[in-house]
């Protein structure tokens, strides 16, 4: 079969076992881990905005016909509209992934690299998931070395930052109020558009 690229959105209800902050991990453990071996490349991410909480799952496969029953089950379980075509070049080769002064301006070549990177990250996440007795999935625990506060993936994040010197920037909103909070610049920009009066300062966390 030819290689196909697909995307699907899954809206997850706030009920067990998807009623914690690990709703993506639980979905991935239940529905992505079992089909990982049939996927050429894949990645998935969570989104949570007021009134909506969903997962986007993008993948490439030579065995889509074999996967159709699996996605029909997902559609039945969660009311998804099914799989659409995924244009990974337009998505992962977009300007936000490709510097204006990059030596190679090929969107396709950058998209291929990003897709490979995200696939490796997704595989690592799946490898580090554990299933609890209550049916929920979460990250494996690693605290014995003293180098991680919760999970082994923290060390992966640390090495990525050490290698790239990517700054970790956050907006500290309501710093003088009783309930201050940190937000990433992307989401903070949306929040501040709706709440321009909110006091805030930009902080950079050392990697």
Q: Could you tell me if residue 157 is inside a domain?
A: no
What is the C-alpha separation between 187 and 200, in angstroms, rounded?
13
Percent share of the chain, pLDDT over 90 = 73
Averaged pLDDT, 192-202: 81
Averaged pLDDT, 138-147: 95
Both 172 and 103 in one domain: the answer is: no
Q: Could you tell me if residue 182 is inside a domain?
A: yes
Domain end call among 123, 139, 155 = 139
Q: Residue 75's pLDDT is what? A: 97
Q: Could you tell me if residue 160 is inside a domain?
A: no
Both 96 and 186 in one domain: the answer is: no
Both 26 and 109 in one domain: the answer is: yes
Please determine, for residue 161, whether its predicted confidence score (pLDDT) is greater than 90.
Answer: no
Best CA proximity match to 205, nearest among 177, 176, 170: 170
Q: Could you tell me if residue 154 is inside a domain?
A: no
Residue 79: CB partners within 8 Å, gap ≥ 6?
Answer: 11
- Predicted TM-score (pTM) of this structure: 0.87
Higher model confidence: residue 168 or residue 145? 145
What CATH number does the domain containing 26 carry?
A: 3.30.70.260
Q: Residue 192's pLDDT is what? A: 80
Both 38 and 114 in one domain: the answer is: yes
Best CA proximity match to 124, nearest among 160, 78, 97: 160
Please determine, for residue 207, whether its predicted confidence score (pLDDT) is greater than 70.
Answer: no
Both 135 and 173 in one domain: the answer is: no
Q: Residue 167's pLDDT is what? A: 77
Averaged pLDDT, 166-189: 75
Q: Could you tell me if residue 28 is inside a domain?
A: yes
Domain end call among 120, 139, 158 = 139
Both 129 and 173 in one domain: the answer is: no
Both 35 and 115 in one domain: the answer is: yes
Please determine, for residue 177, whether its predicted confidence score (pLDDT) is greater than 90.
Answer: no
Tens-digit pLDDT profile for residues 32-42: 999 999 999 99
Both 29 and 112 in one domain: the answer is: yes
Both 106 and 187 in one domain: the answer is: no
Tens-digit pLDDT profile for residues 42-58: 999 999 877 889 999 99
Both 125 and 179 in one domain: the answer is: no
Both 13 and 97 in one domain: the answer is: yes
Domain span at 199: 168-205
Q: Could you tell me if residue 193 is inside a domain?
A: yes
Q: What's the domain count of the chain?
A: 2
Please determine, for residue 198, whether its predicted confidence score (pLDDT) is greater than 90.
Answer: no
Listing DSSP states for 34-82 in one string gives GGGGG-SEEEEEEEEETTEEEEEEEEEES-HHHHHHHHHHHHHHH----
Residue 100: CB partners within 8 Å, gap ≥ 6?
Answer: none
Q: Could you tell me if residue 175 is inside a domain?
A: yes
Tens-digit pLDDT profile for residues 111-128: 999 999 999 999 999 999
Please determine, for residue 132, whether its predicted confidence score (pLDDT) is greater than 90.
Answer: yes
Q: Residue 175's pLDDT is what? A: 66
Among the ranges given (31-40, 41-50, 154-163, 183-192), the one the predictor scored with the smallest mean pLDDT? 183-192
Domain end call among 97, 121, 139 = 139
Both 115 and 78 in one domain: the answer is: yes
Mean pLDDT, the chain, integer: 91
Q: Could you tell me if residue 156 is inside a domain?
A: no
In the structure, what pLDDT confidence band is assigned to residue 129 with cuts at 50, 70 and 90?
very high
């Amino acid at each position: 079969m030819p290689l196909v690229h697909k995307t699907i959105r899954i809206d997850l209800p706030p009920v067990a076992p998807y009623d914690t902050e690990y709703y993506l991990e639980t979905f991935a453990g239940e529905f992505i881990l079992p089909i990982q071996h049939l996927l050429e490349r894949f990645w998935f991410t969570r989104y949570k905005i007021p009134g909506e909480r969903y997962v986007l799952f993008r993948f490439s496969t030579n065995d889509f016909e074999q996967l159709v029953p699996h996605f029909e089950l997902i559609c039945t379980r969660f009311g998804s509209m099914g799989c659409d075509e995924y244009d990974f070049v337009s998505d992962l080769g977009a300007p936000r992934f490709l510097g204006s002064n990059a030596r190679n301006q090929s969107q396709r070549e950058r998209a291929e690299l990003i897709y490979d990177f995200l696939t490796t990250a997704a595989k690592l996440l799946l490898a580090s998931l554990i299933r609890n007795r209550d049916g929920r999935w979460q990250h494996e625990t690693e605290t014995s070395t003293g180098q991680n506060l919760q999970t082994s993936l923290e060390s992966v994040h640390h090495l990525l930052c050490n290698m790239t010197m990517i700054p970790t920037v956050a907006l500290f909103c309501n710093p003088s109020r009783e309930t201050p909070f940190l937000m990433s610049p992307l989401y903070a920009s949306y929040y501040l558009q709706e709440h321009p009066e909110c006091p805030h300062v930009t902080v950079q966390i050392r990697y």
